Amino acid sequence: MITIFIPQQLRSYTSGATTATASGRTVDQALSDLDARFPGIRFRVIDEQGRIREHMRIFVDGERVREVGVALGPKAEVHVFGALSGG
């Protein structure tokens, strides 16, 4: 199973859970699997064109990925981060 680490701003979708497990061969498939249990979470990370939203960052096993088609190993760790802003 793939472990997905949920950022603070998306935990309302997971009832406060900081991690969730998912299955899939790519980042996109894993996020779609996650969305089946937590509706709406994928849309906050991936836009309508299937791209990672500008303010989101995804790391797979410690490496930043820029596309959702990146392959995942069977025990991958996916960290999702949201950009912080302020002034």
Q: Determine whether 79 is exposed, middle or buried from the number of CB atoms within 10 Å of its CB (0-12, 13-18, 19+).
A: middle
Contacts of 63 (CB under 8 A, 6+ apart): none
Under DSSP, is residue 22 helix (H, G, I), strand (E, B) or coil?
strand
Under DSSP, is residue 6 helix (H, G, I), strand (E, B) or coil?
coil
pLDDT, tens digit, for every residue of 31-79? 999 999 999 999 999 999 999 999 999 999 999 999 999 999 999 999 9
Residue corresponding to tokens 């820029």: 66
Q: What's the pTM?
A: 0.92
Query: Domain 2-82 has what CATH class?
Result: alpha beta
